[in-house]
């Protein structure tokens, strides 16, 4: 799978990403550089078609904007409708999130060092259109997000793997109990 929409700003961002990934083997360095580039791209304007911003009826959806053929990174349009959110989950890779529309409410948790122990929340933020946040590095990748406000939240998410096929952890925060899941990609809305 390659790029699924034509947008000049997004195309330039994608072309740059491969080089950034190759030049920054340290995730902690890479996410800061990617965040800067994504912030600039959002400021320049990324035009997403309605097929990539339509909320799902049952749950949040992840539309593929680009999946690197070598599996080094992927970019999703993630859409939360009003009232929708995620369980507490991990990513098992790095990730950078930019808000395209709406407001995303995020609670962050320390990645548990010991399996089966309750999670400890270590952050809480509300992210608005144009803002960019480092959502995760492999060693610090646990959070829960939901749509805040009365319009759907659309985010452009950049991850260090094909996030639609990557097995990830979901956590029961009170107990630390883990179950594994895969997001799967949503086909663009017709
Ligand atoms: Fe997430």
Distance from chain centroid for Cα 50: 19
Domain presence at residue 187: no
Q: 47 CA distance to ligand 1 centroid (A)?
A: 23
Residue 117 lies in a domain: yes
CA of 190 to the centre of ligand 1 (A): 25
User: Which CATH number is 23's domain given?
Assistant: 2.60.120.10
Q: Give the whole-angstrom CA distance, residue 111 versus residue 90.
A: 8
CA distance 105 to 121: 14
How many angstroms does the Cα of residue 141 sit away from the middle of ligand 1?
8
Q: Is residue 53 part of a domain?
A: yes
Residue 1 lies in a domain: no
Report the separation in Å between the CA atom of 6 and the middle of ligand 1, taken as the mean of its atom positions: 25
The number of domains in the chain is 1
Ligand 1 centroid to residue 160 C-alpha, Å: 13
CA of 61 to the centre of ligand 1 (A): 12
Q: For residue 175, tell me if it sits in a domain.
A: yes
pLDDT of residue 2: 53
Per-residue confidence of the chain (190 residues) as pLDDT tens digits? 455 678 999 999 999 999 999 999 999 999 999 999 999 999 999 999 999 999 999 999 999 999 999 999 999 999 999 999 999 999 999 999 999 999 999 999 999 988 889 999 999 999 999 999 999 999 999 999 999 999 999 999 999 999 999 999 999 999 999 999 999 999 997 7
In angstroms, what is the span from residue 122 Cα to ligand 1's centroid? 15
Backbone angles phi and psi of 145, in degrees to 5? -130, 155
pLDDT given for residue 72 in this prediction? 96
Residue 125 Cα to ligand 1 midpoint, Å, equals 14
3-state SS, residue 40? helix
CA of 24 to the centre of ligand 1 (A): 22
pLDDT at site 75: 97
Instruction: Give residue 159's Cα distance to chain centre.
Output: 6
Residue 23 Cα to ligand 1 midpoint, Å, equals 25
**Residue 171 within any structural domain of the chain:** yes
Cα atoms found within 13 Å of the Cα of residue 47, Cβ hemisphere only: 3
pLDDT of residue 4: 65
- Which residues, including other chains, have CB under 8 Å from residue 57's CB and lie 6 or more apart? none
Q: State the residue for tokens 């690197």.
A: 68
What is the domain range of residue 124? 8-181
42 inside domain:
yes
Q: How many angstroms separate the alpha carbon of residue 36 from the centre of ligand 1?
A: 19
Indicate yes or no: pTM above 0.85. yes
In-domain check, residue 65: yes
């Amino acid at each position: 799978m390659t790029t699924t929409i034509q947008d000049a700003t997004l195309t330039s961002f994608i072309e740059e990403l491969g080089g950034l990934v190759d030049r920054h083997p340290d995730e902690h360095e890479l996410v800061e550089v990617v965040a800067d580039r994504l912030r600039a791209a959002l400021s320049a304007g990324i035009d997403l078609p309605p097929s990539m911003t339509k909320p799902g009826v049952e749950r949040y959806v992840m539309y593929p904007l680009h999946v690197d053929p070598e599996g080094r990174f992927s970019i999703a349009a993630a859409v939360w409708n009003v009232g929708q959110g995620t369980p507490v989950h991990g990513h098992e890779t790095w990730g950078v999130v930019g808000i395209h529309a709406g407001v995303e409410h995020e609670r962050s948790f320390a990645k548990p060092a010991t399996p089966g122990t309750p999670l400890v929340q270590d952050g809480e933020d509300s992210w608005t259109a144009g803002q960019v946040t480092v959502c995760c590095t492999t060693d610090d990748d646990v959070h829960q997000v939901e749509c805040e406000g009365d319009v759907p939240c659309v985010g452009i998410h950049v991850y260090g793997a094909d996030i639609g096929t990557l097995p990830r952890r979901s956590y029961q925060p009170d107990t630390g109990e883990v179950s594994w899941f895969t997001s799967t990609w949503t086909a663009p809305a017709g």
